[in-house]
Structure 1
Amino acid sequence: MEVPTDSPIVHDGILLEKEQLMNKDKDDRLTNWRLIITAAVVSCLNAVENSVLGIGEWPYMREIDPNATAQFFGLATSASKCGHAVFALIFSIWSYKTSSVKIPLIASRLIAIAACMIYLTIEYVKTDKRYVLMAVYTLLGIANSGGTVLRGYVTLCSSNEDRPRAFAALGLSFIFSIIVGPTIQLIFSAIPYPGYEIIPGIWFHLYSAPIWISFILTILTVFVILILIEDISREKKTKLRPSESQSSFSMERWRSLYEKLKKSNLDWKLIVVCFFVRMAVSFSHSTLSTIGSILYMVMFGWDGATTVRVGSITMVIFGVMSSTILLLYIFCHFGKILPQHKVFLFFTIAFGAVYIITYPFEFTSNPVAKYNETTRAGCNPEEYSWCSTALAVNPMLYLSVTILVAGMSIPIMSTALDTVYSRILGNIDQSVAHGAMAVIDDILYMITPIFTTTMFTLYGIGPLWIVKSMAFGIIALTWAANLKKIGEHLY
């Protein structure tokens, strides 16, 4: 299950706290709700475009290129994440230097259109189609990174007082995409491959239908950006003092920040703990999104259509559960009612238990599905040396336990950890510190797919599940050992 990892809702509490701490001067700006709603619409269209592919990526690659392996799919996924990480920075700097969000956004949408056109014409390629799909995934990763400039845009369009509501509006777009994207996949899952030929060489089927939808939404997004998005001068809207109006990338600003950090008496031990925990959690969450469709096809023997159908239903349920949790944080103040450091520990243990419960024990498992030449599903002994001895856990047990726990754990753990991290940092400019966390996420989402698919190819699901359960065990022990000290920063 691929879960959007940069949702503003997850960081809303942090943004609110940061604004309260850092912007003590009275802010007399008026919130432009029209532009904020427009930004939310653009963000939603971009997010749906990203989530509409999802579970169908691996089945389609396997369908059109018999030489595609799980390891290559992991490499393609990593390339997409790498493109996203690099160009998120490039688009952000570009937006800052040009004082424009329209230009980077339009550029990202044009890249997305090119990716969609390549995807839809892939049947013209006769051999090694997996490399074409890898290029498409990389281009889509680059295109999706353009949406990062919308966060800065929302701050320019809103007053300090309205900032949390403005970011909530932006965050709701991600919630919407979690549900809509897989639903679109589900609607077209009944159209088998190769489907219907629209024009010679271009087909409409369960794998290409989401890209057709994405193509249409991307063109619509271009018009929305051109017509409704308005660039806002940072100098006029932020009313910075002369010393603050320098480029955020100047040496003076970084030197000043460094001096403040030296005098802030930060608890570096707990900061390192948060970084370590973030690394372990990101590693574990990324594994789920990478291995999902591979697990369905190789271990359970489901064909591409069934994989897309079940995966889409799973993601819709997950989206509804995650949305409910995040809405409770926004409107019911779960962040204040529940002790976040203890909540994080509880769900860390719960998530680790998932890999123990779904481990392929003999009493809960059956032999892995035999390879089917027609559907190209099942465990192929030519690819996986462990096919004759491996077991696959009962699919219903795996799906029910994973959905129930992950649907609650992922949004709660992300929110709780970010809240704790923000409190530990205290009254400092937290932009660099949170940027470092984002870099960690990007790096791990680049590395994990390669590690996960290589482990799966060489050893199967059992050893991989042991590694993941151990990772959560180490997280829980590390967090528990520092629980009392962490609590001191919260109350």
Structure 2
Amino acid sequence: IDDNATSSFFGFAASGSKLAGFIFAFVFAFWAQRSGKLKGALLAGRIITLIACLIYICIEFVPANRRFVLALCYFLFGVGFSTSPLLRSYIAEMSSDENRSSAYSLTSAAMIMSIIVGPVAQLSFHSVTYPGYELLPNIRIHIFSAPVWFATITNIIVILIISFLFVDVSADSKDDQTKMVLSIDELKNQYRRLRQLPVSWILVGLILFEKCASILAFASLTVIAGPMMTVIYAFTGEQTVIIMAICQMLVGFLAFSLSLSFIFGKLGR
């Protein structure tokens, strides 16, 4: 798409996407906490992701320096995906102790399915090399854009679901007194309440550390795998996409199997 895009630039763009996800996870969490509702933040995240998809699809309209536009898309993808923690808080509110592990497993399975669908789309279009087929003037579908087309369709569906079917618990079961005001005193009160909970904080810390370590490993591999394949092994862009798609599918199937074991094998109970 842009011959001037180097492996280093791809690494910076991917890192920027992760950084955007890290920063805006706090922004959306602050938004949801102050408003007492999740719907607005979730909807904003999906709209931002849809905008990134549309920019990516319309990349052919940019005559030069397309790599910077693609970097912007990566950044917006990271912003949109940073709303994922809000779904976990929603599950914690909606589920009970008996079905919470299954609810979280279903959510994890859904996220893993999104990891699998992208590579499947790319492999389905592996023979459609760039520039691919022109659907409309400067609107093309090829091996690089196929997952984005799928993401565009699914984002439109999700936006409609959130707009018309999503029930915000905060709007129905909480009053204005439950909305916290960020202050030193409030933070101290929250800390005291947390200290009084009958929870093994060592175990909580261990789980958080494991979560951070696993996400760090996955994020690092996704950032350096592409540049390593193109620089060290001299693979073309299409070859790199196919290899990474196959690896991502294998990881997705393994993770999906683990999630199903929690749902049907009752491992979390």
Q: Is the aligned partner of 1:200 residue 2:137?
A: yes
Measure, in 2, the Cα distance between the counterparts of 1:119 and 1:208: 8
Q: Is the aligned partner of 1:225 residue 2:162?
A: yes
Output the amino acid matched with 1:208: S
**Does the aligned pair in 2 maintain the 1:99–1:231 contact within 8 Å?**
no
Output the amino acid matched with 2:101: P
Deviations 1:20-53 (A, max 9, x none): xxxxxxxxxxxxxxxxxxxxxxxxxxxxxxxxxx
How far is the alpha carbon of 1:211 from its aligned partner?
Answer: 1.4
Output the amino acid matched with 2:222: S
**Does the aligned pair in 2 maintain the 1:113–1:219 contact within 8 Å?**
yes
Measure, in 2, the Cα distance between the counterparts of 1:77 and 1:146: 18
Output the amino acid matched with 1:314: C
Measure, in 2, the Cα distance between the counterparts of 1:335 and 1:164: 5
How far is the alpha carbon of 1:88 from its aligned partner?
Answer: 1.6
User: What's 2:226 paired with?
Assistant: 293
User: What's 2:12 paired with?
Assistant: 75
How far is the alpha carbon of 1:330 from its aligned partner?
Answer: 5.0
Deviations 1:262-318 (A, max 9, x none): 899x99999999888776665444322112222222222322222222221221112
Measure, in 1, the Cα distance between the counterparts of 2:222 and 2:11: 11
Counterpart of 1:233 in 2: which secondary structure? helix
Measure, in 1, the Cα distance between the counterparts of 2:213 and 2:104: 27
Measure, in 2, the Cα distance between the counterparts of 1:106 and 1:70: 33
Deviations 1:190-212 (A, max 9, x none): 10111122222222211122212
Measure, in 2, the Cα distance between the counterparts of 1:82 and 1:289: 14
TM-score (norm 1): 0.48
Rg larger for: 1
Give the 5 Å matches for 1:210-359: 210-233=147-170, 236=173, 245=178, 247=180, 249-259=182-192, 283-329=216-262, 331-332=264-265
Measure, in 2, the Cα distance between the counterparts of 1:145 and 1:331: 29
How far is the alpha carbon of 1:66 from its aligned partner?
Answer: 2.5
Measure, in 2, the Cα distance between the counterparts of 1:210 and 1:253: 44
Q: Structure 2: state its 5+ residue gaps.
A: none
**Does the aligned pair in 1 maintain the 2:37–2:171 contact within 8 Å?**
no
Measure, in 1, the Cα distance between the counterparts of 2:39 and 2:58: 29
User: What's 2:99 paired with?
Assistant: 162
Measure, in 1, the Cα distance between the counterparts of 2:160 and 2:238: 34
Q: Is the aligned partner of 1:184 residue 2:117?
A: no
Measure, in 2, the Cα distance between the counterparts of 1:136 and 1:143: 10
How far is the alpha carbon of 1:323 from its aligned partner?
Answer: 2.2
How far is the alpha carbon of 1:178 from its aligned partner?
Answer: 2.7
**Does the aligned pair in 1 maintain the 2:48–2:77 contact within 8 Å?**
yes
Query: Which range is displaced more, 160-169 or 130-139?
Result: 160-169
Output the amino acid matched with 1:291: I
**Does the aligned pair in 1 maintain the 2:29–2:86 contact within 8 Å?**
yes
Seen in structure 2, the aligned counterparts of structure 1 residues 263 and 224 have a Cα distance that, compared at 3 Å, is closer
Output the amino acid matched with 2:233: F
User: What's 2:36 paired with?
Assistant: 99
Relative contact order (C-alpha < 8 Å, sep 6+): which is higher?
2
**Does the aligned pair in 2 maintain the 1:190–1:305 contact within 8 Å?**
no
Measure, in 2, the Cα distance between the counterparts of 1:269 and 1:147: 25
The number of residue pairs the alignment matches comes to 267
Match of 1:151 among 71, 79, 88: 88
Q: Structure 1: state its 5+ residue gaps.
A: 1-63, 337-491
How far is the alpha carbon of 1:134 from its aligned partner?
Answer: 0.6
Deviations 1:82-135 (A, max 9, x none): 221222222222223333322222222221222122111212222221111111
Aligned-pair identity in percent equals 34
Give the 5 Å matches for 1:367-378: none
Match of 1:126 among 45, 57, 63: 63
Let me know the Cα RMSD of the aligned residues: 3.3
Counterpart of 1:287 in 2: which secondary structure? helix
Output the amino acid matched with 2:239: T
Output the amino acid matched with 2:157: L
Output the amino acid matched with 2:88: R
Query: Which range is displaced more, 298-307 or 250-259?
Result: 250-259
